[in-house]
Amino acid sequence: MRSIFVGLALAGLVAGGAEAADDPHTKALAAGYKAAFLCSGIFNAGQTEAQVAADDLEGIYPEYQALVRTLPASVDRTAKTVSVAFDNKLPPRIAVWRPYLGCTQLPIGAAADSAFPLPRLSIREGLPVKPLAWPDGDEGATAPGSAKLDAALAKAFDPQSYGGSTTAVLVVKDGKIVGEQYRPGWTMHTPQRTWSAAKSLTATVVGRAVQLGKAKVEAPANIPEWKQPGDPRAKITLAQLMHMGSGLWTDGPGNRTDEVYVGGGAVTEWATRMPLEAAPGSRFNYANNDTLLAARSVRASLGDGKAALEFPFTEVLWKIGMRHTTPETDWQGNYILSSQVWTTARDLARLGLLYQNDGMWNGQRLLPAGWSTFVATPAPAQPPGDRGYGAFFWLYREKVGLPADTYVMNGNRGQFVFIVPSRKVIIVRRGFDAAGGPRFDEAKFARDVLAALD
């Protein structure tokens, strides 16, 4: 969501400068921010500490910025952990990397030798002996583009053209990549955080569960924490969560959920505790918690165990060639699918292709027939402004000068995937746009790319 200056989750803090630096909880969260992003950038993306510091740790929320620059970090490349000290009477904030699942944070106050076991995946995908053809692999991925398109894409890296700080742009036309450019030092296999573009991956995980008979979108969400008799939240449906229409209270527009993202809190401890403040389905309120709850519902329906942890990989990511994607969990094994996913421009294009093909992949139906229409249909309650909302996808369409069927994956710091079915076009843009800085004008960029394809 574009609203990034929102209240700190449940802490009631909107602080900056000296006030933020003196607040103990803000310090703990800032230390968690630094530990999390250093851990993921180093061990998911193979970057140096200096690279992560320059990109992921600059242009961030103002109440954390000064602290993140100064709090001392320690990287253990053998144990694959990052520790950030913030209080001489408490252990440092610690993030731990695991294969497939990336980095998870220990709760505030937990030491490195804490006894609880962290979630781990032991499965391995049987990779082919020879390279796979696009889109399952990268062989034969590209088709001839044009000088006009190349020029349009190059403008994305000039802040004077659209604003922001671009790392990658990619265009798919008729199933093939016809344009692809990266910032120096960036490649097609360099992942970065999706932020809220991950919400569209959540829609895909839900859709796969529906296709397999494990979930129903019009049925109440399966949230074990709401199973006490009489709990009114038990009537909230999966569809209402996907429409950002749960009616649950949040700590402000955007519902930043810092306690989960950088505080080491568990999804099942935080997202499940919010009370109702509006009738479900009666209003639009963009909330990370609605996405976390949808993912929680799928996990509960799969049994909360090994099968649930494997599901995004075996049933979605690996089936469509997204082998450079790392969805991260909290320390209790809940996927943080509202934001905390690391992936590449090409993998996002693959996800876009799954939707452009209405859930079909290599002749197999992965998502229910019509699922693409469902996620791109306006929710019963809509946000203000010129951009609408479907089911974990944004709707841009004619109000911003785009084709009527355009729907978009949209994430903080400038992560965008435009799907334009009528043109058989997918447009991906990745970036590190700064909080409070000139934001990337993604609608203008998409219009210019489509014009260059004419």
One pLDDT digit (tens) per residue for the chain, 454 residues: 333 323 333 333 333 455 666 899 999 999 999 999 999 999 999 999 999 999 999 999 999 999 999 999 999 999 999 999 999 999 999 999 999 999 999 999 999 888 788 999 988 777 667 899 999 999 999 999 999 999 999 999 999 999 999 999 999 999 999 999 999 999 999 999 999 999 999 999 999 999 999 999 999 999 999 999 999 999 999 999 999 999 999 987 778 899 999 999 999 999 999 999 999 999 999 999 999 999 999 999 999 899 999 999 999 999 999 999 999 999 999 999 999 999 999 999 999 999 999 999 999 999 999 999 999 999 999 999 999 999 999 999 899 999 999 999 999 999 999 999 999 999 999 999 999 888 999 999 999 999 999 9
pLDDT at 15: 39
- Domain boundary pick from 72, 105, 138: 105
* Alpha-carbon radius of gyration of the chain: 21
If residue 166 lies in a helix (H) or strand (E), which one and from where to where? strand 166-173
Q: Are residues 171 and 320 in the same domain?
A: yes
Q: How far is CA 135 from the centre of its chain?
A: 21
Q: How far apart are CA 132 and CA 141, in angstroms?
A: 10
Instruction: Answer whether residue 110 is part of any domain.
Output: no
Structure tokens given for 21: 């630096």
Instruction: Answer whether residue 111 is part of any domain.
Output: no
Q: How far apart are CA 320 and CA 213, in angstroms?
A: 20
Q: Are residues 100 and 166 in the same domain?
A: no
pLDDT at 311: 97
Instruction: Answer whether residue 144 is part of any domain.
Output: no
Q: Are residues 93 and 176 in the same domain?
A: no
Q: How far apart are CA 318 and CA 295, in angstroms?
A: 18
Q: What is the domain range of residue 257?
A: 150-453
| Domains held by the chain: number | 2
Quote the crossing angle between the two packed helices 345-356 and 198-211, to the nearest 10°.
40
Q: Kindly report the number of other CB atoms within 10 A of residue 72's CB atom.
A: 11
Q: Are residues 383 and 250 in the same domain?
A: yes
- Domain boundary pick from 87, 105, 123: 105
Q: Are residues 80 and 165 in the same domain?
A: no
pLDDT at 125: 73
Instruction: Answer whether residue 165 is part of any domain.
Output: yes
Q: Kindly report the number of other CB atoms within 10 A of residue 420's CB atom.
A: 24
Instruction: Answer whether residue 121 is part of any domain.
Output: no
Burial of 241 (0-12, 13-18, 19+ CB in 10 A): buried
The CA-based angle 277-63-195, given to 5 degrees, is 65
Burial of 417 (0-12, 13-18, 19+ CB in 10 A): buried
Strand 415-420, strand 388-389: pairing: unpaired
Instruction: Answer whether residue 257 is part of any domain.
Output: yes
Structure tokens given for 24: 């103990």
Q: What is the dihedral of CA 89, 93, 94, 95, to 10 degrees?
A: 180
Q: Are residues 333 and 395 in the same domain?
A: yes
Instruction: Answer whether residue 115 is part of any domain.
Output: no
CATH number at residue 396: 3.40.710.10
Residue with tokens 């905390």: 340
Instruction: Answer whether residue 328 is part of any domain.
Output: yes
Q: Are residues 194 and 73 in the same domain?
A: no
Q: Are residues 93 and 158 in the same domain?
A: no
Strand 192-193, strand 341-343: pairing: antiparallel
Q: Kindly report the number of other CB atoms within 10 A of residue 251's CB atom.
A: 20
Start-to-end C-alpha separation, the chain: 31
Whole-prediction pTM value? Answer: 0.94
Closest listed residue to residue 430, CA positions, set 449, 417, 419: 417
pLDDT at 308: 96
Q: Are residues 157 and 99 in the same domain?
A: no
- Domain boundary pick from 75, 105, 135: 105
Structure tokens given for 33: 């921010």
Q: How far apart are CA 199 and CA 392, in angstroms?
A: 6
pLDDT at 124: 75
Under DSSP, is residue 195 helix (H, G, I), strand (E, B) or coil? helix
Q: How far apart are CA 198 and CA 380, in angstroms?
A: 22
Under DSSP, is residue 286 helix (H, G, I), strand (E, B) or coil? coil
pLDDT at 122: 86
Which amino acid is located at 234 in the chain?
A
Q: Are residues 297 and 424 in the same domain?
A: yes
Q: Can the peptide bond before residue 135 be classed as cis, meaning omega within 30 degrees of 0?
A: yes
Q: Are residues 95 and 189 in the same domain?
A: no
Q: Are residues 86 and 171 in the same domain?
A: no
pLDDT at 20: 64
Cβ 179 vs Cβ 150: under 8 Å: yes
Q: How far apart are CA 9 and CA 251, in angstroms?
A: 6
Closest listed residue to residue 135, CA positions, set 406, 365, 376, 318: 318
